[in-house]
Amino acid sequence: MNREQIDLIIVGGGPAGLAAAVAAYDSGVRDMLVLERDVNTGGILQQCIHNGFGLHRFGKELTGPEYAWEYERMAAERNIPIRCGTTVLNVSPDKVVTAVNSDGVSRIEAKAVVLAMGCRERSRGALNIPGSRPSGIFTAGTAQKYVNCMGYLPGREVVILGSGDIGLIMARRMTLEGAKVKAVCEIMPYSGGLARNIRQCLDDFDIPLKLRHTVTAVHGRERLTGVTISETDEYRRPIPGTEEYISCDTLLLSVGLIPENELSKGAGISLDPITGGAVVDEKRQTSCPGIFACGNVLHVHDLVDFVSEEAALAGKSAAEYISGGLDEGAPLDLKPDGKIRYTIPQRIASRDEDVKVYFRVDNIYKNVKIKVINGDKTIFAKKLAAAAPGEMESLTLTGAQLAECGDAKLEFVLEAG
Amino acid sequence: MKQELTCIVCPLGCALTVEIENGEVTEVSGNTCKRGADYARQECVRPMRVLTTTAMTEDGRVIPVRTDSAVPKETLFDCMAEVNRVKLHLPIKRGSVIIKHIAGTDADLIASKDIERGI
Amino acid sequence: MSAAKGMIIKMYDAVIIGAGVIGAMTARELSKYNMSICVLERSNDAAAGASRANSGIVHAGFDAKPKTLKARFNVEGSEMMPQIAEELGVPYRQNGSLVLGYNDDDRKILELLYRQGQENGVRGLEILGGEELRKLETAVSRSAVCALHAPTGGIICPYELTVAALGSAMDNGAEFLRNFEVSEILEDKDSLTIYASDGRSVKARYAVNAAGVYSDKIARMVGDDSFSIHPRRGEYLLLDKDCGGIVDHTIFKVPTKKGKGILVSPTADGNLLLGPTAEEQEERDNTDTTAAGLNDIIAQINEEAEGVPVRAVITSFAGLRAAADTGDFIIRPYKTRMVHAAGIESPGLSASPAIAVRIAELLFELGLKTEKRADFKAERKSYYWFRRLGAEEKDAYIKDHPDFGKIVCRCETVSEGEILEAIRREPKALDLDAVKRRTRSGMGRCQGGFCSPRIVELLAREQGIPIERVTKSGGGSYLNICRTKGGGQA
């Protein structure tokens, strides 16, 4: 078995992993290795052939492969070693990484590890849609792989459950390739996808978006022959009597993404039950010292640009850790009130610098105020004209504001006004 | 006449309000940047879209391609019909032109990715 | 494919109709003898019916009424199971089962089951009070006050057992014909000719009817209308491996008239299984799950075990039990050339090794002349041989076989090498579900989202078929319709 010692191991060569690697390099790390399970870097971006990436990060609108290429180029310019076709099997709490590829099994002792494994899609099983088990039911991402990477059309008549961005993008994609998308059903009263995708992927092709609707049965013995959809009530339960049968040979599921944290669990890292990712501090360090997390494995992002930004922070922090450790002051725990579903980071370890806090709300709000409360003092307040679960918000707490905090708890509260 | 639009220029997706008088856009509000206003004016006259799709290579794989600028929305399926006919010689460089003036538009279809021969 | 007129139809000493666990076990048992064997299966793979979707429990044998065939073969079969599982390389664990009681009436039923078990010859049975129960199984529901403990109860993966048993039979010379839906059986002086709906046919000196929910139809083809099958559908929920350790035993409630009720059990593969419901139905191919059924399971679980996170469901499925109107297994010859193995509902999986031996005896009694082979190979390499290796051994093996270092299914850590082995080794996996049944790829949390496109490519390459001909489970279950470009589009 191959035994190695490498300062920094980055698990995943997608937009997060590559951005972390580039940032770590620029912060002085030279002995590092990116481990990527696919045969190429770029991760899921390689199948996201649509445009809309990179406006924040590069000031231009790129397709997924083009965005990936920008980071591949930066990594190549720095001669950052990348091992593709390599799957990490285990990360131990003391940062021993076990990986396998066609050369064999490697055991790598690392000084720091950045976790950047991305996320996976919620499957039919997790939704418990009753009915038969025919072929023709795919997650939107699997269909995207067939269409965009392999050049095959998985079906001709399509219903899409869930109006997440991948589902919307696939509605347009399947339409352009000759399929008929009959409906997009969304159980919530609003779409979780970007407004522009509803416009350019559904409205452009007269595809109906059925809000407060879900698929309540699938039909067909061998291949899918149709689905039953129903209206749902405010508790997301199907309303009896509203069933409608739609014949189709394909059901695409775009019902949410789940951070892929099996390795994190194996390392004993504390996870946030809301995000499904690790609990991190402002440096993106997990509960395991020297193990950092970033990108969609930490929490599901709306935009890859923000993934890269977060990954750069994690990469830089890993470099600091390697060169002498990170400062630990009196930590603050961030406590969202529920209307604010979660914050990233969940804790602030050092109060020396400004900290940008990202958060997501649980519902659609208009004209609200977000307050950050420490003890009985409101240290920060900001008005939001609108907030939606589909859009990540952020605020910056200054080092001065943090230094004032007497209590170890920072409450994040959403109020009317 | 007022028209509500969702801006598609960037992922912000601003909710735009367009004032139209005698078929001409007289005012755009709700936009965060100038491109939003431009988009609204264009959208009311002739909607334009960037096409992203795939094209087949000579060895039967597909590669991601896109138009280098937006094409009139109503030409999207004409563009698709043209893309579906090509078989690309390899290798292909990212950014290289695959179809000039696709479907008679001002846009060229370009490759989004480098593809080597036979892997 | 279809046999032209005048072509010589192949004759076998024994033809087994149905590649479920009974058919597969019988084929393996017969392959210990010098004889020609053919297994016919209407689907694209073995274990496509009841053997694909059941509880995977090797019952101790206290549940069946004494003197019934169910009681006899359950106890005999479950005694044989550990060795057979070992020979076939199928994971089997004797985790023990618990039947929970909630009041004095229940305790009486448990005592009845205890006596019944004693009479059936089940070893190690004991009735536990609440305290002993909770010492044995901490997650058990607080409302349970007593339980019957059967330490010989076990768990096994039913389709892995079936595929492995058929594979073992094939290693020893048995043949396997798929998509062979028997439509007619003609009898002449010295054989039966068995026709498929697509025109193929085989001749059998002796035939075994192990056709599951279709076994009464097969019986009618030879003129026997003495029994009928009433399929009973059972729905299940399967939970993530994170939950496999919540309970250690297989947990039942006291049985009712409708059956053993809903159980909570770890599976042999480490998941947690909840179910089944029990719904009588006419159709023999309806394995739909229903909202009512799935909700019914969820509503009952807390009565048995605490802290089962229903959120962690990764899939739901339904299976049919081939219950006969006689209430017992039907294992008997009909006239001179056929042996029925019908009405094999629970505890059919547990009983299968013993039923197979009995079927062989009945064939010999009918006049099948043969003798034991000296060269029978009992051992079969497990599908799990690679994953059971240590890191050093894996490393050494990958050095010579690089495909075993390419991970295709990330949730269950299955390599390309293991997938190719499942595709190439008899009985070959010809579709996505068949690969899944052999390797567990696609059976994890993402349910094949990431790995299925690659497995589809491998299936196409290995069979020399275009990608759009690859199916989920045979027949018309295509995954892709056409190419998007180059003139093949919709």
Residue ranges per structural domain of chain C: 92-153+229-324, 391-469
DSSP A373-402: EETTEEEEEEEEEEE-TTS-EEEEE-HHHH
**Closest Cβ–Cβ partner in C392, C472, C482 for A1:** C392
The answer to whether the CB atoms of A121 and C446 lie below 8 A apart is yes
Closest C-alpha among C483, C468, A40, C486 to residue B58: C486
Q: Show residues of chain C in contact with B54, CB under 8 Å.
A: 484-485
Task: Check if the beta carbon of residue A187 is closer than 8 Å to that of residue A164.
Answer: no
Q: Show residues of chain A in contact with C403, CB under 8 Å.
A: 102
High-pLDDT (> 70) share of chain C, %:
97
**What CATH class is the domain C391-469?**
mainly alpha
Q: For tokens 């010689």, what's the residue?
A: B89
d(CA A187, CA A169): 18
The answer to whether the CB atoms of A151 and B50 lie below 8 A apart is no
Task: Check if the beta carbon of residue B56 is closer than 8 Å to that of residue C485.
Answer: yes
First to last CA, chain A: 62
**Tokens representing residue C278 in the block:** 């029990």
In this structure, are A224 and A288 located in the same domain? no
**Amino acid letter for position C226:** S
Q: Is the N-terminal amide bond of C276 cis, ω within 30° of 0?
A: yes
The per-residue pLDDT for range A157-206, each reduced to its tens digit, is 999 999 999 999 999 999 999 999 999 999 999 988 888 899 999 999 99
In this structure, are A35 and A93 located in the same domain? yes
**Amino acid letter for position B113:** K
d(CA C320, CA C213): 8
Question: Residue C2 pLDDT > 50, yes or no?
Answer: no
Residue ranges per structural domain of chain B: 2-45, 52-111
**C490 in contact with B at a CB cutoff of 8 Å?**
no
The answer to whether the CB atoms of B62 and C489 lie below 8 A apart is no
Give Cα A266 distance to the centre of its chain. Answer: 20
**Tokens representing residue A302 in the block:** 């709306």
Task: Check if the beta carbon of residue A73 is closer than 8 Å to that of residue A11.
Answer: no
Which other chains touch chain A, taking contact as 3+ CB pairs less than 8 Å apart? Answer: B, C
Q: Show residues of chain C in contact with A135, CB under 8 Å.
A: 471-473, 477-479
Given the residues C59, C149, C249, C340, select the one marked as catalytic: C59
Q: Show residues of chain A in contact with C313, CB under 8 Å.
A: 125-126, 128
CB burial of C12-32 (b: ≥16 within 10 Å; e: otherwise) equals: bbbbbbbbbbbbbbbbbbbbb
State the maximum Cα–Cα separation within chain A, in Å, rounded to a whole number.
65
What is the nearest CA distance from B110 to chain A, expressed in angstroms? 12
Mutate to test the interface with C, among A1, A87, A102, A257 (most CBs of C within 10 A): A102
The answer to whether the CB atoms of C317 and A133 lie below 8 A apart is yes
Q: For tokens 């419901």, what's the residue?
A: C277
Contacts of C19 (CB under 8 A, 6+ apart): C27, C39, C40, C41, C43, C45, C46, C47, C48, C162, C166, C176, C427
The answer to whether the CB atoms of B54 and A55 lie below 8 A apart is no
Tell me which H or E stretch contains A100: strand A96-101
Q: For tokens 């969940």, what's the residue?
A: A346
pLDDT of residue C5: 53
The answer to whether the CB atoms of C486 and B55 lie below 8 A apart is no
**Tokens representing residue C87 in the block:** 């020979």
**Amino acid letter for position B100:** K
Question: Residue B14 pLDDT > 90, yes or no?
Answer: no
Contacts of B73 (CB under 8 A, 6+ apart): A204, B46, B47, B48, B49
The answer to whether the CB atoms of C486 and B56 lie below 8 A apart is yes
What is the nearest CA distance from A256 to chain C, expressed in angstroms? 12
In this structure, are A137 and A19 located in the same domain? no
State the maximum Cα–Cα separation within chain C, in Å, rounded to a whole number.
73
d(CA C216, CA C212): 8
**Amino acid letter for position C310:** V
The per-residue pLDDT for range B61-102, each reduced to its tens digit, is 999 999 999 999 999 999 999 999 999 999 999 999 999 999
At B10, the pLDDT band (50, 70, 90 cuts) reads: confident
pLDDT of residue C444: 82
pLDDT of residue C258: 67
Q: Is A5 helix (H, G, I), strand (E, B) or coil?
A: strand
Question: Residue C488 pLDDT > 70, yes or no?
Answer: no
Task: Check if the beta carbon of residue A153 is closer than 8 Å to that of residue A181.
Answer: no
With a CB-CB cutoff of 8 Å, which residues 71-100 of chain B face chain C? 83-84, 87
d(CA A145, CA B12): 26
pLDDT of residue C6: 56
Q: Show residues of chain B in contact with C488, CB under 8 Å.
A: none
- The total number of structural domains in chain A stands at 3
Q: How many other C-beta atoms can be found within 10 angstroms of the C-beta atom of residue A259?
A: 23
Q: Which CATH number fits domain C92-153+229-324: 3.40.50.150, 3.40.50.360, 1.10.150.120, 3.30.9.10?
A: 3.30.9.10
Closest C-alpha among A318, A312, A283, A302 to residue A361: A302
Mutate to test the interface with B, among A38, A48, A53, A63 (most CBs of B within 10 A): A63
What is the nearest CA distance from A5 to chain B, expressed in angstroms? 32
Phi and psi at C14, nearest 5°, equal: -140, 130
The answer to whether the CB atoms of A61 and B10 lie below 8 A apart is yes
What is the nearest CA distance from C458 to chain B, expressed in angstroms? 16
Q: How many other C-beta atoms can be found within 10 angstroms of the C-beta atom of residue B58?
A: 12
DSSP B8-52: -SSTT--EEEEEEETTEEEEEES-SSHHHHHHHHHHHHS-EE--E
Q: Show residues of chain A in contact with B66, CB under 8 Å.
A: 49, 51, 63
Torsion of CA B98, B101, B106, B111, to 10 degrees: -10
The answer to whether the CB atoms of B52 and A204 lie below 8 A apart is no
What is the nearest CA distance from B49 to chain A, expressed in angstroms? 8
In this structure, are A16 and A86 located in the same domain? yes
The answer to whether the CB atoms of A176 and B77 lie below 8 A apart is yes
In this structure, are A304 and A400 located in the same domain? no
Write down which residue in A255, A286, A311 finishes a domain. Answer: A255
Question: pTM of this prediction?
Answer: 0.94
Q: Show residues of chain C in contact with B55, CB under 8 Å.
A: 485
**A69 in contact with B at a CB cutoff of 8 Å?**
yes
**Closest Cβ–Cβ partner in B8, B51, B114 for A196:** B8
What angle do helix axes C432-439 and C416-424 make, rounded to 10 degrees? 110
d(CA B96, CA B98): 6
Q: How many other C-beta atoms can be found within 10 angstroms of the C-beta atom of residue C282?
A: 7
Question: Residue C200 pLDDT > 80, yes or no?
Answer: yes
C340 is catalytic: no
d(CA B50, CA C124): 73
The average pLDDT across C324-337 equals 96
What angle do helix axes C21-30 and C348-366 make, rounded to 10 degrees? 40
Write down which residue in A277, A296, A325 finishes a domain. Answer: A325
Strands A96-101 vs A104-115: parallel, antiparallel or unpaired: antiparallel
Task: Check if the beta carbon of residue C356 is closer than 8 Å to that of residue C25.
Answer: yes
Contacts of C371 (CB under 8 A, 6+ apart): C33, C34
In this structure, are A282 and A354 located in the same domain? no
Q: List the CATH number of the domain containing A246.
A: 3.50.50.60
**Amino acid letter for position A181:** V
Residue spans of chain A under pLDDT 70:
126
The answer to whether the CB atoms of B54 and C484 lie below 8 A apart is yes
**Tokens representing residue A259 in the block:** 């951070």
pLDDT of residue C487: 58
Q: Show residues of chain C in contact with A125, CB under 8 Å.
A: 238, 313-316, 447
In this structure, are A75 and A134 located in the same domain? no
Q: Show residues of chain C in contact with B63, CB under 8 Å.
A: none
Mutate to test the interface with A, among B9, B31, B53 (most CBs of A within 10 A): B53
Kindly report the CATH number that applies to the domain delimited by B52-111: 3.10.530.10
d(CA B12, CA A55): 10
DSSP designation for A199: I
Phi and psi at B98, nearest 5°, equal: -105, -45
Closest C-alpha among C21, C1, C66, C126 to residue C341: C21
What is the nearest CA distance from B8 to chain A, expressed in angstroms? 5
d(CA C223, CA C474): 31
SS3 assignment for chain C: CCCCCCCCCCEEEEEEECCCHHHHHHHHHHCCECCCEEEECCCCCCCCCCCCCCCCEECCCCCCCCCCHHHHHHHHHHHHHHHHHHHHCCCEECCCEEEEECCHHHHHHHHHHHHHHHHHCCCCCEEEEHHHHHHHCCCECCCCCEEEEECCCEEECHHHHHHHHHHHHHHCCCEEECCCCEEEEEECCCCEEEEECCCCEEEEEEEEECCHHHHHHHHHHCCCCCCCEEEEEEEEEEECHHHCCCCCCEEEECCECCECCCEEEECCCCCEEEECCCEECCCCCCCCECHHHHHHHHHHHCCCECCCCHHHEEEEEEEEEEEECCCCCEEEEECCCEEEEECCCCCHHHHHHHHHHHHHHHHHHHCCCCCECCCCCCCCCCCCCCCCCCHHHHHHHHHHCHHHHCEEECCCCEEHHHHHHHHHCCCCCCCHHHHHHHHCCCCCCCCCCCCHHHHHHHHHHHHCCCHHHCECCCCCCECCCEECCCCCCC
Question: Residue C481 pLDDT > 90, yes or no?
Answer: yes
Strands C272-275 vs C279-280: parallel, antiparallel or unpaired: unpaired
Count how many Cα atoms sit within 13 Å of the Cα of residue A269 in the half-sphere of its side chain.
36
Question: Residue C490 pLDDT > 70, yes or no?
Answer: no
Q: How many other C-beta atoms can be found within 10 angstroms of the C-beta atom of residue C223?
A: 12
Give the residue numbers spanning the domain of A389: 334-416
What is the nearest CA distance from A94 to chain B, expressed in angstroms? 39
Give Cα A358 distance to the centre of its chain. Answer: 13
d(CA C482, CA C468): 6
Task: Check if the beta carbon of residue C452 is closer than 8 Å to that of residue A145.
Answer: no
Q: List the CATH number of the domain containing A400.
A: 2.60.40
**Tokens representing residue C270 in the block:** 């480490």
